[in-house]
Structure 1
């Protein structure tokens, strides 16, 4: 079993493997995370990639798919149904297969980098000093 420092974020993410041991499965379905690693018992409740994988995939694939659709439109000026049978399948083929590896990479990154939920810092009250405080309004007199 490799330590977390020895694990590659991209390596375990692309394989869909446990970020701690690298042997167990990270997913229990196509995109659903398993409750825990079957090999080392790591509880995956720490992982919350939210919409990160979908956002990164859509933003990455938006340029080539949009370019492809525009090329078809400007070159051939086809009817709308042609886009449904060319551009839409290209969009699905470009986005769906890479969702799982992106999600695996984000979960592995959360574990290896020990990411936590953000918290607000509570300001400490100012320390009392022995200096006298001037009454308000008396400074200009």
Structure 2
């Protein structure tokens, strides 16, 4: 493990999570984390950081559902209370909006969680590889 005057080099969690939100490497901020929509690259194409050990598993979908629910449900209730639209309006509005918001948020949240794991040295394999 890299040492700086007897201690581990600090990895700011906020910066790493922001880089992850942008779907970039938490270390350099240049290379992409994902090989596809959600498939994590084995390593950063820019700096070579091993990314394959970072496993977000069920956390990104959980946080996505939590966030989307807290956005959509209040908006749905406000619309219903003030305008009383027909049911088809609710279906035509909220189903696509929920789907699109979920699909947009999921990779960003997964990237943020991978950034947090990297910053806190929470790897899915043995000791810290760097």
TM range (shorter): 0.7 to 0.9
Which of 90, 95, 114 is the matching residue for 1:88?
Answer: 95
Partner Cα separation in structure 1 for residue 49 and residue 69 of structure 2 = 35
Partner Cα separation in structure 2 for residue 69 and residue 11 of structure 1 = 30
Rg comparison, structure with higher value? 1
Q: Report the CA distance between 1:77 and its aligned residue.
A: 4.4
Partner Cα separation in structure 2 for residue 89 and residue 36 of structure 1 = 34
Q: Where does residue 13 of structure 1 map in the other structure?
A: 20
Partner Cα separation in structure 1 for residue 84 and residue 18 of structure 2 = 43
Q: Report the CA distance between 1:50 and its aligned residue.
A: 0.7
Q: Report the CA distance between 1:78 and its aligned residue.
A: 4.2
- Alignment of 1:98 onto 2:105: yes
Consecutive unaligned residues in structure 1, runs of 5 or more: 118-141
Q: Where does residue 53 of structure 1 map in the other structure?
A: 60
- After superposition, the Cα gap between the structure-2 partners of 1:18 and 1:116, relative to the gap in structure 1 and judged at 3 Å, is closer
- After superposition, the Cα gap between the structure-2 partners of 1:25 and 1:4, relative to the gap in structure 1 and judged at 3 Å, is farther
Q: Which has the larger displacement, 87-96 or 69-78? A: 69-78
Per-residue CA deviations over 1:109-136 (Å, capped at 9, x if unaligned) read 111111146xxxxxxxxxxxxxxxxxxx
- After superposition, the Cα gap between the structure-2 partners of 1:93 and 1:77, relative to the gap in structure 1 and judged at 3 Å, is same
Q: Which has the larger displacement, 26-35 or 66-75? A: 66-75
Report if aligned partners of 2:11, 2:120 keep a CA contact under 8 Å in 1. no
Per-residue CA deviations over 1:82-130 (Å, capped at 9, x if unaligned) read 222111122123322121211111001111111146xxxxxxxxxxxxx
State the Cα RMSD in Å.
2.3
- Alignment of 1:69 onto 2:76: yes
Report if aligned partners of 1:53, 1:106 keep a CA contact under 8 Å in 2. yes
Which structure ranks higher in relative contact order (CA pairs < 8 Å, sequence separation ≥ 6)?
Answer: 2
Report the 3-state secondary structure (helix = DSSP H, G, I; strand = E; otherwise coil) of the residue aligned with 1:97.
Answer: helix
